[in-house]
Structure formats: structure tokens, C-alpha cells
Amino acid sequence: MSFTGIVKNELSKLILNKIEAITELSAILKNSAYIDKNIIRITTENSSVARHIFSLIKELYNINCKVVVRHGYNYNKNYIYILEISNKIDIIVNDLSLNTNIPEDYIIDDDNLLRIYLRGLFISSGSINDPKKSRYHLEFIVNSEEYAYFIKGKLNLYDLNSKVIKRENKFMIYVKEAEKIGDFLRMVNAINALLYFEDIRIYRDHKNMTNRLNNCEQANVDKIIETASLQVKDIELIEKTNGLDILDDKTRIVADYRLKYRESSLLELSEIISVETGIPITKSGLHHRFTKIKEIANRIRNNR
């Protein structure tokens, strides 16, 4: 089962009172139902969601929906669940504020009801990438531009930084940031999904940080080896042309040790020279002497 299916399963099992049930059912039918004067037809691919909708309608309106189960399109192995209502249509439409593009204020009268409305929106038209995949993505697909910007505004009341784009003849409201997606799961009370999501997110963040550190370390090693190799070339050029005797004593010692320890960093080389000669030398001191060696080598190259 997809992560979206797991989240919807969890949300569809939460207990609601009558007012909360009206709000959630309003969002679900708004975004997953075909409505005319003779029928309300609700379509979903999630069996748990289908049972949840059936129960809500039964409890609120004492109606048993007709349920049709079909195979998915294009020979999809998943089933499609179709719930059909042919009674009390006017009552349901008015009660759930389905005759307006934007729901009436009583549907989302307070913070709790707004969260439940957004939960119903996700149940009906939302999807979320599994956090194990390469990118984080939460989206809702709706039919109306006005409604899309209404939902965007409500999501951003919770600082989710949602955005809207047009997708063919529909509109998508989406959230990309992992932290914001976690906030949404917490907001709609998908606690088990949230714990899973955060565990994977923390693991991925730690893994990415480790990879960055390893990449930095490898880049530093490569830089050390490249620098040491250039220093060796300068010393070998001087040795081949004029001999190392042209160097002063301190610089000559540094040149000899570089030839002996060709891949050591400046810090490592300074520690080796200090221990083996008994003459302390710092990393900065080594850098100064290699600068002198490079100047001599460049003069030789220029004279050539």
C-alpha cells in the first residue's frame, strides 16, 4: 500500500462527533462526488475511506448508500468503490454547503473544524510521497481556481507555505518542504503516519549530512594530495637544475621531508619535522618555506 493509502486509512478511522462529521463529509463530497438533482455519486480507491463515508452518511442522514465495486481503469489491480445516494439529496447538499464554491462559515467555524475540513480534503483529493523517495511532496487536486486559492489560504494559516499551480483543467495545491508536510500530518492528527514520516526524514537528513561531511573530507584529501604533488614537482625541479644546496638550511630541511612524506598534509608534516628534528615548526612556518620554494622554481621555469 502507498504511503498516501496508509495516511488515509488512519484518518478514516478517527472518531468524530456530529458537527465534526458534517465538516469532514462536506470536504469529502465537495472533492470526490458527482452531484445532480437525482443522485450523489462518490468515488474512491480506498476501501477504508469508502466504509468511512458510508458510516458517516448512515449516522448523519439514516441512509444506506448503494455500493458498487469495480476494477480500476486500464486493468489496474486496485478496486474502485462507488457510493450512490438517491435520497435526501437536497438536505445533504444544503446541510454540507455543497451548493457554493466556498463552504459556508459554519462548516469551518473554528480551528478544530478547519483542521477536520482539511483532513477531509486530504481523504478525498490529497496525496503524499513516501518519505523514502527522493523528494518530499504533498498535494491536493481540486476543480476550481477560486477554491484552490481558498484552500491555499487556509493551509497557510498554519505556515505550511503552500502554492497553487494549474494542472490541465484542474488546480493543484502543493507543499514541498519536509518540515511543513510533517506539520500537516500533525495538524490533521495522523499521528502514526507522522511518526513514520519523521523517523525517515531524520534518517535521511542524518545520511545526507554524513554524505556531505564525507564529500568535504574527500575534497580536502584531494586538495592536500594535489598541493603536495605541486610542492614535490617544485623541489624536484630545483634539485635537477641547481641542486637543493641553493636553499637555506631551514628550507632545505622542509624540502627533504616533503620528498620523504609526499602525501602528508602541512599539519602532519609540521608534526613529523618537529618530532624528528627537535626543532618546532608550525603549519604557517611550513607554508612560508614552501612559498619560497615555489618562487625559486617559478624563476627557473621563467629563465627556461
Q: In order along the chain (304 residues), what is the average pLDDT of each group of 10 residues? A: 91 93 94 89 91 93 88 69 90 91 92 95 94 87 94 95 92 93 94 90 76 77 85 89 86 88 86 87 88 90 82
Pair (222, 158) in one structural domain = no
Q: Count CA atoms closer than 13 A to 258's CA, side-chain side.
A: 27
199 belongs to a structural domain: no
DSSP character string of 147-162:
HHHHHHHHHHTTT---
Pair (224, 176) in one structural domain = no
3-class DSSP state of 49: helix
Pair (26, 122) in one structural domain = yes
Pair (87, 226) in one structural domain = no
Pair (160, 236) in one structural domain = no
259 belongs to a structural domain: yes
194 belongs to a structural domain: no
Provide the number of structural domains found in the chain: 2
CA distances (Å), origin 178, targets 113, 154, 205? 25, 19, 10
Distance CA 285, CA 266 (A): 10
Domain span at residue 265? Answer: 215-303
Q: Look up the CATH number of the domain holding residue 96.
A: 3.10.28.10
Pair (168, 96) in one structural domain = yes
Expressed in angstroms, the distance from the first to the final Cα of the chain is 73
pLDDT, residue 215, reads 77
270 belongs to a structural domain: yes
Distance CA 99, CA 35 (A): 10
205 belongs to a structural domain: no
Residue 99 has φ and ψ, to the nearest 5°, of -95, 5
Please report how the helices 191-241 and 249-260 are oriented relative to each other, as an axis angle in degrees rounded to 10. 120
Do the Cβ atoms of 25 and 124 come closer than 8 Å? no
Environment class of 284 (CB within 10 Å of its CB; exposed 0-12, middle 13-18, buried 19+): exposed
Do the Cβ atoms of 172 and 165 come closer than 8 Å? yes
Residue 127 has φ and ψ, to the nearest 5°, of -150, 155
203 belongs to a structural domain: no
pLDDT digits (tens, 9 = 90+) for 61-113: 998 888 888 876 655 567 889 999 988 999 999 999 998 999 999 999 999 99
pLDDT digits (tens, 9 = 90+) for 245-258: 888 888 888 888 88
Model pTM? 0.69
150 belongs to a structural domain: yes
Q: Count CA atoms closer than 13 A to 30's CA, side-chain side.
A: 34
Pair (152, 9) in one structural domain = yes
pLDDT, residue 205, reads 74
DSSP character string of 244-294:
GGGS-HHHHHHHHHHHHSTT--HHHHHHHHHHHHS----HHHHHHHHHHHH
Domain boundary among 189, 207, 231: 189
Pair (42, 154) in one structural domain = yes
Pair (181, 282) in one structural domain = no
pLDDT, residue 208, reads 72
Question: Which residues lie below 8 Å from residue 23, measured CB to CB, with a gap of 6+?
Answer: 107, 108, 113, 116, 117, 120
Pair (126, 8) in one structural domain = yes
pLDDT, residue 77, reads 63
pLDDT, residue 210, reads 77
**Which residue(s) pair with 42 in the sheet?**
33, 83
75 belongs to a structural domain: yes
